[in-house]
Amino acid sequence: MKEIRIHGRGGQGSVTAAELLAVAAFADGKFSQAFPAFGVERRGAPVQAFTRMDDTQIRLRSQIYEPDFVIVQDPTLVEVVDVASGLKDDGMLIINSDFDADKFNFDTKAKIMTVNATKIALDIIGRPIVNTVLLGAFAGATGEIEPESIMEAVKERFPGKIGERNAEAIMKAYEMMEANK
């Protein structure tokens, strides 16, 4: 089983990202599960969402404390939330930032990767909404999921032009991370 924890702020689409990842993982032939860290979310407040992927049906209902992968949507979060908490040594933390990974000092042995998802989103989607872009980055950096599955899930959720642009941004992030692996 692979466990993914997504950190973001209310309004950044962390829950949607977790759900889309579950839809995409299932399309890839895995079983999946996505759920939010149920809070009284308000815009701007730190939030978490979780996705599990496995070859068999998932029964576990607890939150994720020892993730294989962590996705951080907003670099300002690292000052207020211990985003690397419990991250497995052989895991990976992907953070949306224009800095290089070595600028971050997390208490983890896991690999740190950065991607300037905000720039990709602004360039292609025209808005600084990075949740789908980071899923593309996740696919590229980890190889855990096919980018096409994510693109399909996003296009189904957001039909029309918005979905198309998101798909393009996903592919861009995927290719960048693939090249950096």
Partner 1 sequence: MSREMNIDKSKMTVVEGSYAVAHSVKVCKPNVISAYPITPQTHIVEDLSQFMADGEIPNCEYLNVESEFSALSALVGSAAVGARCYSATTSQGLELMHEVLFNVSGMRLPVVMTVTNRAVSAPISIWNDQQDSISQRDTGWIQMHAENIQEISDMTAQAYKISEDKDIMMPSMVCMDGFILSHVYEPLVLLEQDITDEFLPRYEPEYTLDPKNPLSFGAFADPNYYTEFRYMQQQAMERSLKKIEDVAEEFYDMYGRYFGGLIDEYQTEDADIILMAMGSIVGTIKDVVDKLRENNVKVGLLKVRTFRPFPAEAITNVIKDAKVVVVLDKNISLGLNEGALFTETKSVLYNTDIRVPTIGYMIGHGGRDIKMDTIERIIDEATEVMKTGIKKESQFVDVREDLL
Q: Give residue 164's Cα distance to chain centre.
A: 19
- Point out which residues bind partner 1 (CB under 8 A): 18-19, 22-23, 26, 31-36, 38, 40, 57-63, 65
Q: What is the DSSP string of 38-79?
A: -----TTSEEEEEEEEESS-----SPPSS-SEEEES-GGGGG
Instruction: Report the nearest approach of partner 1 to the CB of residue 61 (Å).
Output: 5
Give the residue with the Cβ less far from partner 1, 37 or 124. Answer: 37
Instruction: Report the nearest approach of partner 1 to the CB of residue 1 (Å).
Output: 10
Give dist(CA 181, CA 122) in Å, integer. Answer: 24
Q: Give residue 90's Cα distance to chain centre.
A: 17
Instruction: Report the nearest approach of partner 1 to the CB of residue 58 (Å).
Output: 7
Give the residue with the Cβ less far from partner 1, 18 or 92. Answer: 18
Give the residue with the Cβ less far from partner 1, 119 or 157. Answer: 157
